[in-house]
Structure formats: C-alpha cells, structure tokens
C-alpha cells in the first residue's frame, strides 16, 4: 500500500484533486518553525518604525509585549524630540489677527519670541537680521515679527524695537525701546544672551558678551586716566 505522506509526483496530484488529505507536518518540525518565526519577529521589532510596530503587534508574543512597548515609547519620544528640534528655523511674519493663534496658543512646550518693528527704523532692521541668525541656531524656538501698528493699533514708535517673549501663552520677558538694546552696536550674541535669560533659548555662551565689552571699555578708560602722581602738582 502506498504511503499518502510520501513525497511523490502522483501523491501531489492526488492532494491537489482532494483525493488525498494535505501532507502532515511532523509536530517537531511545526514547533521548530513557530520558534524560528517568533525569534525572527523578536529580532526585527527593534528595526521597525512606529507604523510597522502597530501593523505587526498581533504577531508578537506575550513575553515580548513589555519590551516592545518600552521600545515603542522610546521611538515615540525620539520622534517628538526630532519634530520639536526641527519645528521652526526661520522668522515668521504675522499680523494682529494671527496673534492669539501664533503667540498665545503656540502649543505646549513652545517658546515664542515676537519682535514688533517698523520699516525705516535701523535698529529694527538690525534686530530682524539678528533674529534670523538666532532662528537658524535655535529651530525649536518660534521666532516671529510683526509691524507694530498692524499687531497692536496705535503702538507708539518710541517703544520700538519691542520684543515680547512668551511660553505656553504667558509672557516671560519684554524688551521695550532702543535704550534697552544698547543701540546700533547690538550684536547677535548679546541678543542671544538676553533671550537666554528669559528661557527662550538655551545658549552655549558662558557669560554676557556685553560684559566683555564693558570690561574692555573700563580698562581703556582707566589706562587713559592720569595717575595720582601725574596729577599732583610738583612741590617746589
């Protein structure tokens, strides 16, 4: 009598026609195949994207669920950090009707730096240039600018430039008027330091650049002053 499980061409034909039942797979082979498949799934989940993890979650065993969930949370945190880090990177222009949406409701964990300016004021132009530099350096901070009177009606020109700093809808800092910025000698590093003091940016500067300039100026003034010996009249 012919063995129905024998690998012959005739048995294959009979199986296709339904005369013979499907070939039985030895139990040991089945268990080995399942183990290899499970091992393959466990090995590959670390290389999966978040979408792939969602699609294949039914294939994971109970033993792997805790590890995979931990890995999923890690990938999600990395993705959020990347999104936050590369969210902005340039200075956006807004009008008064955008104020609430773009500033007050900027989002959780978002710092907003808003510059109120007017065309034709040199210090405003300089600050816009510096903010463009800082926006590229700190793309996780939202830098905005707005013509003062389109944002706040009748805002006085004497208060320009003005910078407001917000975090999650609350004002954390304000710089109003040209004297606060030190005039046209303002450097990007000095503005960076001022913004870092409000929390809007995380600077790598170790001290206020303006202090270095002031120290040099004071040193220069001291060296040019006459000494006490020089200033005293000679005794006859």
pLDDT digits (tens, 9 = 90+) for 92-139: 999 999 999 999 998 888 999 999 999 999 999 999 999 999 999 999
User: Is pLDDT at 160 greater than 90 in this prediction?
Assistant: yes
Q: Is the pLDDT confidence value at 207 over 60? A: yes
Mean pLDDT score of the chain: 79
- On the question of pLDDT at 236 being above 50, the answer is no
Give the tens place of pLDDT for each residue, 2-60. Answer: 565 666 777 677 777 677 677 666 555 566 666 656 555 444 555 666 666 666 666 66
Tell me the β-bridge partners of 112.
142, 166
Q: Are β-strands 170-176 and 162-167 bridged in parallel, bridged antiparallel, or unpaired?
A: antiparallel
Mean pLDDT of the 215-224 span: 50
Is residue 172 within 8 A of residue 199, CB to CB? The reply is: yes
Task: List CB contacts of 101: < 8 A, sequence separation 6 or more.
Answer: none
Q: How high is the pLDDT of residue 121? A: 97
- Give kind and range of the element (H or E) at residue 173: strand 170-176
Query: Distance between CA 12 and CA 30 in Å, rounded?
Result: 20
Q: How would residue 173 be classed by pLDDT, with cut points 50, 70 and 90?
A: very high
Q: What is the pLDDT of residue 174?
A: 96
Percentage of residues in the chain having pLDDT higher than 70: 61
Q: Which of 119, 131, 120 is nearest to 181 (CA)?
A: 131
Q: Which two tokens stand for residue 2?
A: 């012919």
Helices and strands (DSSP H and E) totals, the chain:
11, 5
Q: How far apart are CA 91 and CA 137, in angstroms?
A: 12
What the chain holds in terms of domains, given with CATH numbers, is: 92-198 (3.40.30.10)
């Amino acid at each position: 009598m012919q063995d129905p499980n024998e690998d012959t061409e005739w048995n294959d034909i009979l199986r296709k026609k339904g005369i013979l039942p499907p070939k039985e797979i030895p139990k040991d082979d089945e268990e080995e195949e399942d183990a290899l498949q499970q091992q393959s799934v466990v090995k590959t989940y670390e290389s999966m994207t978040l979408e792939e993890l969602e699609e294949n979650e039914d294939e994971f065993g109970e033993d792997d669920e805790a590890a995979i969930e931990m890995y999923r949370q890690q990938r999600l945190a990395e993705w959020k950090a990347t999104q936050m880090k590369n969210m902005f990177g340039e200075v956006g222009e807004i009008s008064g009707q955008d104020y609430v949406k773009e500033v007050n409701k900027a989002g959780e964990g978002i710092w907003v730096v808003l510059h109120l300016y007017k065309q034709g004021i040199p210090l405003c132009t300089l600050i816009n240039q510096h903010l463009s530099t800082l926006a590229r350096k700190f793309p996780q901070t939202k830098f905005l600018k707005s013509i003062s009177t389109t944002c706040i009606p009748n805002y006085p020109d004497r208060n320009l430039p003005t910078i407001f700093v917000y975090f999650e809808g609350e004002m954390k800092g304000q710089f109003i008027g040209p004297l606060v910025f030190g005039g046209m000698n303002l450097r990007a590093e000095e503005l960076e330091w001022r913004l870092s003091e409000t929390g809007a940016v995380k600077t790598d500067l170790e001290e206020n650049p303006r202090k270095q300039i002031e120290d040099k100026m004071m040193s220069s003034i001291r060296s040019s002053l006459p000494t006490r010996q020089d200033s005293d009249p000679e005794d006859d």
